[in-house]
């Protein structure tokens, strides 16, 4: 910001003579201002709710684990899910999640299931828009095949779920997510330290990180 303001003022005045004094004054003002309050850019990042991570993890995070900071309960989908369930989850205003783990249910267990993939909200909306589902879970009918172009055409402003009309009969249909989910999402064990999680988010530019237990079951 200091260099930018200096260039702007020099170009506005057309006098390069005062370039160095102007830069020193602006640099001093910035140092003093940052000592008392946050920078202007930092304030705007918070106002816009931009998910910005600093260079280092907070000092108080070294004693925390992924289990202690993760969102719970996790909203998951089965690999073959009912259309009505997908619509209800996406329409729920209390959960504005962007990604959902896809799981395989574990027999005789109350756990969410073993993770087998991750699917995005935008992908589900495109699938619902193009009605990529069949009447029965094991139906021999061939569901419509989507191409990469169908997802690219909707990017970056995917339609809201409220604009997708799904009839009552269509709510009873089943959607197979296997073909569209990410089969290798990033996961971490429950006991992973928070600084380690922080570094993964920052270094890999992640938006979703699934926390699993020793049996690869979603926590």
175 bridge partner residues: 81
Answer yes or no: is pLDDT of 70 > 60. yes
What is the reported pLDDT for 43? 83
201 Cβ neighbours under 8 A, 6+ residues apart: 53, 209
Give mean pLDDT, residues 132-141: 64
Is residue 67 within 8 A of residue 190, CB to CB? The reply is yes
What is the reported pLDDT for 139? 53
b or e along 5-14 (b: 16 or more beta carbons within 10 Å of the residue's beta carbon)?
bbeebbeeee
User: Tens of pLDDT along 22-39?
Assistant: 888 888 888 888 888 877
3 state DSSP class of 147: coil
Cα torsion at 117, 121, 126, 129 (round to 10°)?
Answer: 120
Q: Report the distance separating Cα 71 and Cα 77, nearest Å.
A: 16
Is residue 83 within 8 A of residue 171, CB to CB? The reply is yes
If 0-12 CB within 10 Å is exposed, 13-18 middle and 19+ buried, where does residue 163 land? exposed
Could you tell me the pTM of the whole model?
A: 0.73
Domain 77-184 annotated CATH 1.25.40: no
Task: Tell me which residue has tokens 């809201």.
Answer: 160
Answer yes or no: is pLDDT of 140 > 60. no
Cα–Cα–Cα angle for 212, 215, 217, rounded to 5 degrees = 45
Is residue 78 within 8 A of residue 105, CB to CB? The reply is yes
Answer yes or no: is pLDDT of 53 > 80. yes
Answer yes or no: is pLDDT of 187 > 90. yes
Locate CATH 3.10.580 in the chain: 77-184
Highest mean pLDDT among 44-58, 96-110, 176-190: 176-190
pLDDT, greater one: 197 or 142: 197
User: Tens of pLDDT along 145-181?
Assistant: 777 777 777 677 778 888 888 889 889 999 989 889 9
């Amino acid at each position: 910001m200091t260099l930018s303001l200096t260039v702007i003022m020099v170009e506005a005045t057309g006098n390069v003579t005062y370039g160095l004094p102007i830069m020193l004054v602006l640099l001093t003002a910035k140092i003093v201002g940052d000592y008392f309050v946050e920078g202007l850019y930092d304030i705007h990042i918070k106002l816009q709710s931009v998910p910005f991570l600093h260079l280092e993890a907070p000092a108080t995070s070294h004693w925390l684990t992924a289990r202690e900071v993760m969102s719970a309960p996790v909203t998951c989908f089965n690999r073959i899910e009912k259309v009505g369930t997908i619509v209800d989850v996406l329409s729920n205003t209390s959960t504005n999640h962007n990604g959902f783990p896809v799981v395989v249910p574990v027999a005789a267990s109350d756990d969410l299931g073993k993770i087998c993939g991750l699917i995005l909200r935008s992908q589900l909306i495109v699938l619902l828009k193009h009605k990529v589902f069949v009447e029965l879970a094991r139906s021999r009918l061939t569901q419509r095949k989507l191409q990469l172009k169908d997802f690219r055409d909707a990017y970056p402003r995917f339609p809201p779920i409220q604009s997708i009309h799904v009839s009552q009969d269509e709510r009873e249909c089943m959607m197979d997510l296997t073909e569209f989910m990410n089969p290798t999402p990033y996961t971490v064990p429950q006991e992973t330290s928070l600084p380690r999680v922080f570094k993964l988010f920052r270094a890999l530019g992640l938006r979703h990180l699934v926390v699993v237990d020793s049996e690869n079951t979603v926590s």
